[in-house]
């Protein structure tokens, strides 16, 4: 249509990206992903099975294959199609398929996104969605998935018991993996199954079975995915995703493929447009611990544009864009008289308790009565009556036959001597199932009052056909009466009597089952028993496989082999143990090392030898220039590793010299260390009881004199520095004073350090006054001072009190109190000292020249410079990252850089004792330091020991290798040895001649399992497993388990995310106990460094730094483009209710709050319920945990307790059924971010703020904002390497342009830059010449 806007054929076009593919053609090779083979009959994949071809090979497929026929016109159309079946082409097949759907469906198939434009990701469904545990399973998608099961025979009328088994197995697997889900059946989706009565019945049975016999939540009241009820349901439950079908399964017979694809693609579009992600049902795979599937993320911007275009196209066609419109208006034929049906239901309901099958028997007799009441010809009526009696008999047998008895080979009706007319049999059974569906829908109240456990086995099509064959055969021989027992006859007569009572037709007796005469079918004789003709012995099968009959096996018998091999082991030819030739060929107690290929005789090389060695010291080129080139490359590599390592360790890092200790030195150091500890303890005890001697007094006097001299010297330097900084700016003066303060340690000159700190505080106060006078700072909002300076002031006061508190003079204490008073934080003064409450210090900080001020002027200054909040709120809001932890204060001689905590000392003790340890601590908590301490210990102990650092990824291998090089490369190694080495699948470097090997699990397994690498394995002293929780993954997990069992030395296992550390430690300890038993005490005594087989468990749960989440949403009306996202804003009321009784807590463990977020939670709760008394006690200024502290600042432990009390209060609201208030709190925490997200999306149209285009456009502004907020450096994570490359290019180009602009403003030209570079190269070349 001219002038009409074209609807995009792909979602990618909405982002402005070109469409690289043509319109998809069904079953074409263009739609097949790379590396996959299309599902065609000509495919080389032997595992492919065409469901239609498989059904055509079944002898009874003609009985129930055809769709349900509702009128004579439909019967004629089906016959016409059947008559032309032999000569139809593919195009005709497509036309026939199109006939099953409406023109709306054709539009849907044409304009819905093609499969090759849908780009889902393969994810772990239950582990990648920790923000919301609930997900939704579309019931009709699940029904289609189950009906597409290869092993389910649906062509014979339906195997409902097998179908329900597959259903429960699928759901039970999700439930066992911890999944929480709802099953939703949309009412409009029933139109999809109206063409096949057995599938309609399967849908009804599935719904009722799930509702009555399972604990799962089933929803059936929602009309469709475009209804308000659906949107309300999503808003209430907020699912993580919806599991839905893509309609591309091997469809069961009777379903039009294009109709199915159009319906489920339309449903997919509606779900995505509602802001919910999707997972494709057909590709879900379960493992022992996880469930994987293809996950399609919702893109609201694209979905909205496409949905609008989709609606407009439908409106132009004059159709309603609902899922129901894509099918023909094909409804199930209703009963002629609904009131009559309800009357029969009530009549049978009175007999319900006497029916052993419960609901199944009620539905069966009602459906049979409805079929018999239909107007048929006299001849057809008698045969229909026989078929109905056979159906009732088959229902009776369902209660008596076992599954093994029902699992019989199906007879071939085409070759039977007698049979019913195929069309009539198919029609009658089809009508029975139709009426079963109508009855199940009508008698909903009946289901809840009767037994429903037999509903899952409502009928068995295969059993019915088999029974029909047997009864017909017996009827032809006059032996019907002898087939049925007396009990079966009685039960059949009971059911038939009910049918007779409620039916309006004159019916005969229940026995005999078949009354009407049947004609003999002229055909082939019955097939013989193929099992006996095709039976082969084990030896014949071996010969058929080409196995030499002279081959024999050595007899092996143990519990595993006997169970696994079974009777097969007895059929094989075995060697004789008493034969000398046999025993001579077997070498016992000797390691086998296969060093040659069995077929070529060439030397066998393992994966280590096949890995590329970039720096082979033993094979330097003989050519002078080539050798120089190789050596030059090694130098470049060393410089690269050095700079890389220094960048990781930070500026100012100094290497610790490592000197190898002899064994005698080690013993001596250990003795001296223990002796020193004893002396310290004795000295401490002696000081408590004995007076000091004259010698001690002389030493103390001498030491005091030295300190006074040092203090006098530093005071002179301090006076000189202070005089030189009088005319300097505050920022520059602070930098100079901080450098000077580094030379004034607390132990050396605390008096000078105190004055320097006071002077720094004075300069920061001056900066604060200037900012308040100007009305803003560098990074503060307009009209408001930069509170970062106020934070620095409070932090400086806290440092002075903590470090120099005992050396403070009264005047200095008053100055500190005045600084806090200047900020309006006078309530903090009470936590320092009583004599700090004087107003003099406050006045000295406020005015430098004036000694007196009026009270009014003073109040104005206090209001001008105040932060306008209490001290507790100020600390929680702005100083959360500076709150101090309560750690140990005593130093550890093994650690020079910091004072380790108790749990860190326990790790060091484990390494000193050669013990294994499992360490579970959060990221950045310091657990990696134990690995470096372990490396340093092995390096000091000698040149032979080896430490292996196992990293899960190659990227981390390079990082650890650079860090090791930066820390330990100064150790002098023997010729041919290296400090560190690397071994990955891509390359290796000094792997076997190093002391610290950095590798990945697979490569270490290669070395440990190779027989000719065992000498190297004996050198192992420690193995460090980083990110050991990878052993819980599905891919490569077994390698981690192998290594933990194979390592012949102690190990350190590091992780931050192990939920059950005690179970893992128990398993590791059992492995070490077994290793101890295997090694034996005699062998252990020979080792130089015997290991202890104990596995320590060290668990530490406190993060050193809180994690706060921000969302980048640039808006013109807000300067805060980094919008904080509260962790509880992603929670729902239902999620808290579901997890309320969880032993681990209703709140997810990973959603911890920072002090600022805890304060935000309180403020929100106070707005929702301000009059609650228990909540008033949690106000920051009134909270008892803060008011009773003995330090100037709130500690991190106190902030954690405050967070726990707030959580407890919120959960108390739940127990008191204040659900609306809890839901309001969660909504208010999310309101600001949602509002700014909406504003940002409107301003940046047509760019989608969730797309790659937005990230590319905003990456430079985002980095600028992070720099402004002092949040750099930063890491950018994404799974798309192409996107990372694009972002790097954008940043690189932007920085280059900024650099050129800066140089241009400085007057520097490109020619001058080239000249300078040439001069530098010339100077460097001259230095090299002089060196030579």
**Structure letter (DSSP) for residue 1049:** S
Instruction: Please check whether residue 1168 is in contact with residue 860, taking contact to mean a CB–CB distance below 8 angstroms.
Output: no
> What's the N-to-C CA distance of the chain in angstroms?
82
DSSP β-bridge partners for residue 916: 1095
Does 883 have pLDDT greater than 80? yes
Instruction: Please check whether residue 183 is in contact with residue 148, taking contact to mean a CB–CB distance below 8 angstroms.
Output: no
| Closest to 1096 (Cα-Cα) out of 1034, 1144, 1051 | 1051
Window from 25-34, 892-901, 1148-1157 with minimum mean pLDDT: 25-34
Window from 95-99, 586-590, 1072-1076 with minimum mean pLDDT: 95-99
Greater model confidence, 38 or 833: 833
DSSP β-bridge partners for residue 437: none
Return the axis-axis angle of helices 954-968 and 624-649, rounded to nearest 10°: 90
What pLDDT is recorded for position 535? 39
What pLDDT is recorded for position 884? 84
DSSP string covering 991-1012 = SSSEEEEEE-HHHHHHHHH-GG
Instruction: Please check whether residue 269 is in contact with residue 307, taking contact to mean a CB–CB distance below 8 angstroms.
Output: yes
DSSP β-bridge partners for residue 251: none
pLDDT tens, residue by residue, 545-574:
444 445 677 777 777 777 777 777 777 777
Instruction: Please check whether residue 918 is in contact with residue 1096, taking contact to mean a CB–CB distance below 8 angstroms.
Output: yes
Q: Rounded to an integer, what distance in angstroms lies between the CA atom of residue 64 and that of residue 461?
A: 9
Q: Rounded to an integer, what distance in angstroms lies between the CA atom of residue 744 and that of residue 741?
A: 5
Q: For residue 424, what is the enclosing H or E element?
A: helix 422-442
Greater model confidence, 1286 or 851: 1286
Q: Rounded to an integer, what distance in angstroms lies between the CA atom of residue 255 and that of residue 192?
A: 8
Supply angle C-alpha 506, 511, 516, rounded to 5: 65
Neighbouring CB atoms inside 10 A of 1235's CB total 14
Greater model confidence, 271 or 692: 271
Q: Rounded to an integer, what distance in angstroms lies between the CA atom of residue 139 and that of residue 214?
A: 15
Q: Is the pTM of this model over 0.95?
A: no
- Tokens at residue 203, please? 């849908």
- Tokens at residue 208, please? 């009722």
What pLDDT is recorded for position 1111? 93
What pLDDT is recorded for position 186? 92
Greater model confidence, 176 or 594: 176
Does 163 have pLDDT greater than 90? yes
* pLDDT over 70, % of the chain: 71
Q: Rounded to an integer, what distance in angstroms lies between the CA atom of residue 761 and that of residue 843?
A: 15
Neighbouring CB atoms inside 10 A of 678's CB total 10
Q: What's the mean pLDDT in 965-981?
A: 87
| Closest to 392 (Cα-Cα) out of 420, 357, 439 | 357
Q: What's the mean pLDDT in 140-144?
A: 93
- Tokens at residue 397, please? 């047998």
What pLDDT is recorded for position 793? 92
Q: What's the mean pLDDT in 984-1009?
A: 90
Q: What's the mean pLDDT in 1216-1221?
A: 92
Q: What's the mean pLDDT in 1305-1316?
A: 80
Does 732 have pLDDT greater than 50? yes
Q: Rounded to an integer, what distance in angstroms lies between the CA atom of residue 245 and that of residue 251?
A: 12
**Structure letter (DSSP) for residue 327:** B
Instruction: Look at the block and give the residue holding tokens 């780009």.
Output: 119
Q: Rounded to an integer, what distance in angstroms lies between the CA atom of residue 1223 and that of residue 1211?
A: 12
Does 1013 have pLDDT greater than 50? yes
Q: What's the mean pLDDT in 1119-1139?
A: 86
Please report which confidence band the pLDDT of residue 1222 belongs to, taking 50, 70 and 90 as the band edges.
very high
pLDDT tens, residue by residue, 531-544:
344 434 444 544 44
Does 837 have pLDDT greater than 80? no
What pLDDT is recorded for position 1124? 92
Instruction: Please check whether residue 268 is in contact with residue 258, taking contact to mean a CB–CB distance below 8 angstroms.
Output: no
Give Dmax (Cα) for the chain.
Answer: 133
Instruction: Please check whether residue 286 is in contact with residue 169, taking contact to mean a CB–CB distance below 8 angstroms.
Output: no
What pLDDT is recorded for position 314? 53
Identify the burial level of 1001 via C-beta atoms within 10 angstroms of its C-beta, where 0-12 means exposed, 13-18 middle and 19 or more buried: buried
Q: Rounded to an integer, what distance in angstroms lies between the CA atom of residue 925 and that of residue 902?
A: 13
Q: Rounded to an integer, what distance in angstroms lies between the CA atom of residue 425 and that of residue 58?
A: 17
In 180-320, the DSSP E strands lie at: 180-184, 217-219, 242-244, 278-280, 285-286, 291-296
- Name every residue whose Cβ is closer than 8 Å to that of residue 267 and which is 6 or more positions away in sequence: 138, 141, 186, 189, 225, 244, 323
* pLDDT over 90, % of the chain: 19
The backbone torsions φ and ψ at residue 225, rounded to the nearest 5 degrees and listed phi first, read -80, -5
Greater model confidence, 730 or 1180: 1180
Instruction: Look at the block and give the residue holding tokens 């002075």.
Output: 800
What pLDDT is recorded for position 835? 47
Q: H-type helices in 355-421, by residue range?
A: 359-372, 378-398, 403-406
pLDDT tens, residue by residue, 1037-1055:
889 999 998 999 999 999 9
Please report which confidence band the pLDDT of residue 748 belongs to, taking 50, 70 and 90 as the band edges.
low
Neighbouring CB atoms inside 10 A of 837's CB total 16
Instruction: Please check whether residue 408 is in contact with residue 466, taking contact to mean a CB–CB distance below 8 angstroms.
Output: yes
Q: Rounded to an integer, what distance in angstroms lies between the CA atom of residue 565 and that of residue 583?
A: 24
Q: Rounded to an integer, what distance in angstroms lies between the CA atom of residue 1113 and that of residue 1239?
A: 9
| Closest to 112 (Cα-Cα) out of 264, 296, 224, 223 | 264
Instruction: Please check whether residue 503 is in contact with residue 369, taking contact to mean a CB–CB distance below 8 angstroms.
Output: yes
What pLDDT is recorded for position 618? 56
Q: What is the dihedral of CA 496, 498, 499, 500, to 10 degrees?
A: 90
Greater model confidence, 421 or 48: 421
Cα dihedral sign, 1068-1074-1077-1079: negative
Q: What's the mean pLDDT in 990-1018?
A: 90
Please report which confidence band the pLDDT of residue 605 belongs to, taking 50, 70 and 90 as the band edges.
low
Does 962 have pLDDT greater than 80? yes
Does 84 have pLDDT greater than 70? no
What pLDDT is recorded for position 122? 85
Return the axis-axis angle of helices 928-941 and 954-968, rounded to nearest 10°: 50
Q: Rounded to an integer, what distance in angstroms lies between the CA atom of residue 702 and that of residue 696?
A: 10
Going from the C-alpha of 1100 to that of each of 197, 302, 1052, the distances in angstroms are: 61, 45, 15
Please report which confidence band the pLDDT of residue 1207 belongs to, taking 50, 70 and 90 as the band edges.
very high
Does 61 have pLDDT greater than 50? no
Bond prior to 529 in cis (omega within 30° of 0): no
Does 170 have pLDDT greater than 60? yes
pLDDT tens, residue by residue, 787-825:
888 999 999 998 888 888 777 888 888 888 888 988 988
What pLDDT is recorded for position 666? 56
Please report which confidence band the pLDDT of residue 441 belongs to, taking 50, 70 and 90 as the band edges.
confident
Instruction: Please check whether residue 1130 is in contact with residue 1229, taking contact to mean a CB–CB distance below 8 angstroms.
Output: no
- Average pLDDT over the chain reads 76
* Secondary structure class of 970 (helix, strand, coil): coil
Cα dihedral sign, 186-188-191-192: negative
Greater model confidence, 1207 or 1012: 1207
Please report which confidence band the pLDDT of residue 37 belongs to, taking 50, 70 and 90 as the band edges.
very low
Q: H-type helices in 887-1020, by residue range?
A: 902-912, 928-941, 954-968, 1001-1009, 1014-1017
Identify the burial level of 1207 via C-beta atoms within 10 angstroms of its C-beta, where 0-12 means exposed, 13-18 middle and 19 or more buried: middle
pLDDT tens, residue by residue, 199-227:
999 999 999 999 989 999 999 999 888 88
In 1079-1163, the DSSP E strands lie at: 1095-1099, 1109-1112, 1122-1125
DSSP β-bridge partners for residue 1118: 1115
Does 241 have pLDDT greater than 70? yes
| Closest to 346 (Cα-Cα) out of 333, 362, 331 | 362
Window from 863-867, 956-960, 962-966, 1002-1006 with minimum mean pLDDT: 863-867
Q: Rounded to an integer, what distance in angstroms lies between the CA atom of residue 635 and that of residue 646?
A: 17
Going from the C-alpha of 586 to that of each of 52, 431, 553, 554, 574, the distances in angstroms are: 56, 72, 13, 10, 15
Neighbouring CB atoms inside 10 A of 88's CB total 12
Please report which confidence band the pLDDT of residue 863 belongs to, taking 50, 70 and 90 as the band edges.
confident
pLDDT tens, residue by residue, 1082-1108:
454 445 556 778 999 999 888 888 888
What pLDDT is recorded for position 1156? 94
- Name every residue whose Cβ is closer than 8 Å to that of residue 743 and which is 6 or more positions away in sequence: 714
């Amino acid at each position: 249509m001219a002038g009409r806007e074209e609807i995009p054929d792909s979602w990618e076009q909405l982002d402005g990206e070109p469409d690289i593919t043509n319109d998809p053609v069904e079953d074409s090779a263009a739609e097949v992903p790379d590396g996959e083979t299309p599902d065609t009959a000509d495919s080389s994949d032997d595992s492919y099975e065409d469901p239609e071809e498989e059904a055509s090979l079944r002898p009874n497929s003609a009985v129930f294959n055809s769709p349900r026929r509702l009128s004579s016109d439909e019967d004629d159309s089906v016959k016409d199609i059947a008559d032309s079946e032999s000569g139809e082409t593919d195009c005709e097949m497509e036309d026939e398929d199109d006939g099953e759907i409406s023109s709306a469906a054709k539009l849907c198939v044409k304009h819905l996104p093609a499969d090759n434009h849908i780009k889902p990701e393969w994810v772990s469904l239950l582990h990648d969605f920790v923000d919301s545990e609930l997900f939704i399973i579309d019931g009709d998608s699940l029904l289609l998935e189950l009906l597409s099961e290869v092993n389910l025979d649906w062509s014979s009328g339906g195997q409902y018991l097998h179908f329900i088994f597959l259903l429960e197995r699928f759901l039970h697997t999700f439930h066992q993996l911890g999944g929480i889900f709802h099953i939703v059946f949309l009412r409009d989706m029933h139109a999809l199954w109206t063409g096949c009565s057995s599938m309609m019945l399967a849908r009804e049975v599935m719904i009722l079975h799930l509702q009555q016999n399972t604990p799962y939540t089933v929803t059936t009241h929602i009309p469709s995915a475009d209804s308000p009820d659906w949107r309300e349901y999503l808003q209430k439950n907020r699912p993580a995703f919806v599991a839905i079908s893509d309609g591309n399964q091997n469809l069961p017979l009777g379903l039009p493929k294009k109709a199915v694809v159009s319906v489920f693609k339309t449903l997919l579009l509606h779900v995505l447009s509602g802001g919910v992600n999707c997972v494709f049902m057909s590709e879900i795979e379960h493992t022992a611990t996880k469930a994987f599937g293809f996950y399609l993320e919702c893109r609201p911007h694209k979905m909205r544009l496409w949905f609008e275009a989709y609606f407009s196209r439908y409106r132009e066609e004059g159709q309603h864009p609902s899922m129901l419109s894509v099918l023909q208006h094909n409804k199930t034929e209703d009963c002629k008289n609904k009131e009559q049906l309800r009357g029969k239901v009530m009549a049978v309901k009175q007999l319900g308790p006497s029916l052993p099958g419960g609901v199944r028997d009620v539905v069966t007799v009602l459906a049979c009565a409805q079929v018999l009441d239909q107007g048929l010809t006299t001849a057809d009526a008698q045969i229909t009556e026989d078929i109905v009696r056979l159906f009732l008999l088959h229902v009776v047998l369902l209660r008596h036959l076992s599954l093994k008895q029902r699992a019989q080979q199906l007879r071939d009706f085409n070759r039977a001597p007698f049979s019913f007319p195929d069309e009539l049999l198919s029609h009658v059974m089809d009508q029975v199932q139709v009426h079963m569906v109508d009855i199940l829908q009508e008698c909903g109240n009946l289901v809840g009052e009767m037994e429903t456990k037999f509903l899952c086995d409502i009928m068995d099509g295969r059993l019915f056909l088999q029974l029909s064959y047997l009864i017909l055969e017996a009827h032809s021989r006059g032996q019907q009466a002898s087939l049925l027992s007396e009990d079966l006859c009685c039960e059949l007569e009971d059911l038939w009597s009910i049918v007779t009572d409620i039916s309006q037709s004159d019916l005969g007796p229940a026995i005999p089952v078949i009354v009407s005469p049947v004609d003999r079918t002229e055909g082939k004789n019955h097939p013989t028993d193929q099992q006996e003709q095709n039976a082969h012995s084990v030896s014949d099968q071996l010969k058929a496989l080409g196995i030499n009959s002279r081959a024999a096996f050595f007899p092996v018998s143990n519990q595993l082999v006997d169970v696994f091999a079974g009777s097969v082991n007895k059929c094989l030819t075995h060697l004789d143990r008493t034969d000398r030739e046999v025993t001579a060929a077997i070498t016992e107690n000797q390691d086998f090392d296969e060093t040659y290929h069995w077929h070529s005789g060439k030397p066998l090389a393992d994966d280590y030898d096949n890995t590329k060695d970039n720096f082979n010291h033993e094979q330097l080129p003989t050519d002078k220039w080539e050798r120089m080139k190789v050596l030059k490359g090694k130098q470049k590599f060393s410089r690269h590793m050095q700079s890389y390592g220094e960048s990781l360790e930070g500026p100012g890092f100094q290497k610790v010299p490592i000197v190898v200790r002899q064994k005698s030195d080690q013993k001596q150091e250990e003795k001296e260390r223990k002796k020193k500890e004893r002396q310290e303890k004795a000295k401490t005890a002696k000081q408590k009881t004995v007076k000091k001697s004259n010698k001690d007094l002389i030493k103390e006097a001498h030491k005091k004199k030295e300190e006074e001299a040092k203090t006098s010297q530093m005071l002179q330097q301090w006076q000189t520095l202070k005089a030189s900084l009088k005319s300097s700016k505050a920022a520059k003066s602070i930098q100079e004073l901080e450098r000077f303060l580094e030379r004034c340690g607390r132990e050396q000159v605390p008096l000078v350090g105190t004055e320097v700190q006071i002077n720094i505080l004075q300069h920061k106060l001056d900066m604060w006054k200037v900012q308040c006078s100007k009305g803003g700072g560098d990074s503060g909002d307009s009209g408001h001072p930069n509170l970062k300076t106020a934070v620095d002031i409070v932090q400086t006061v806290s440092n002075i009190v903590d470090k120099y508190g005992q050396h403070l003079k009264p005047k200095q204490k008053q100055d500190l109190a005045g600084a806090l008073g200047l900020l309006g934080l006078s309530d903090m003064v009470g936590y320092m000292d009583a004599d700090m409450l004087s107003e003099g210090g406050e006045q000295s900080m406020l005015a430098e020249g004036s000694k007196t001020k009026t009270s009014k002027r003073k109040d104005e200054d206090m209001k001008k410079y105040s932060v306008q909040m209490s001290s507790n709120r100020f600390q929680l809001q702005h100083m959360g990252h500076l709150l101090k932890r309560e750690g140990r204060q005593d130093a550890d001689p093994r650690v020079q850089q910091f004072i380790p905590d108790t749990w860190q000392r326990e790790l060091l003790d484990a390494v000193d004792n050669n013990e294994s340890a499992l360490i579970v601590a959060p990221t950045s908590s310091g657990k990696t330091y134990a690995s470096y301490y372990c490396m340093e210990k092995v390096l000091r102990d000698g040149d032979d020991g080896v430490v292996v650092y196992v990293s899960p990824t190659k990227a981390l291998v390079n990082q650890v290798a650079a860090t090791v090089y930066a820390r330990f490369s100064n150790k002098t190694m023997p010729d041919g040895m290296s400090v560190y080495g690397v071994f990955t699948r891509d390359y290796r470097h000094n792997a076997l001649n190093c002391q610290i090997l950095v590798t990945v699990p697979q490569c270490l397994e290669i070395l440990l399992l190779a027989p000719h690498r065992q000498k190297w394995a004996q050198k192992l002293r420690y193995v460090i497993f980083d990110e050991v929780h990878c052993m819980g993954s599905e891919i490569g997990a077994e390698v981690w388990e192998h290594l933990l069992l194979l390592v012949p030395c102690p190990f350190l296992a590091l992780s931050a995310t192990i939920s059950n550390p005690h179970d893992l430690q128990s398993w590791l300890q059992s492995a070490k106990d077994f290793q101890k038993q295997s090694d034996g005490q005699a062998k252990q005594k020979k080792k130089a460094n015997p290991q202890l087989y104990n596995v320590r468990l060290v668990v530490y749960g406190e993060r050193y730094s809180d994690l706060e989440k921000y969302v980048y949403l640039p808006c013109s009306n807000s300067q805060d483009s980094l919008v904080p996202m509260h962790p509880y804003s992603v929670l729902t009321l239902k999620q808290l209710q579901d997890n309320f009784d969880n032993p681990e807590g209703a709140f997810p463990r990973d959603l911890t709050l920072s002090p600022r977020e805890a304060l935000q939670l309180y403020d929100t709760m106070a707005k929702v319920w301000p009059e609650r008394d228990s909540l008033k006690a949690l106000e920051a200024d009134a909270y008892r945990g803060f008011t009773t502290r003995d330090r100037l600042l709130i500690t991190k432990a106190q902030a954690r307790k405050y967070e726990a009390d707030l959580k407890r209060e919120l959960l108390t609201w739940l127990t008191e059924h204040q659900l609306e208030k809890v839901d309001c709190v969660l909504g208010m925490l999310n309101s600001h971010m949602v509002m700014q997200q909406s504003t940002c999306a409107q301003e940046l149209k047509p760019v989608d703020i969730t797309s790659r285009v937005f990230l590319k456009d905003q990456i430079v502004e985002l980095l600028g904002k992070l720099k402004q907020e002092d949040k750099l450096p930063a890491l950018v994570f994404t799974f798309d390497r192409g996107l990372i490359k694009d972002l790097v290019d954008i940043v690189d180009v932007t920085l280059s342009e900024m650099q050129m602009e800066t140089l241009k403003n400085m007057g520097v030209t490109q020619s001058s830059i080239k000249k300078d570079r040439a001069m530098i190269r010339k100077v460097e070349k001259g230095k090299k010449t002089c060196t030579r």
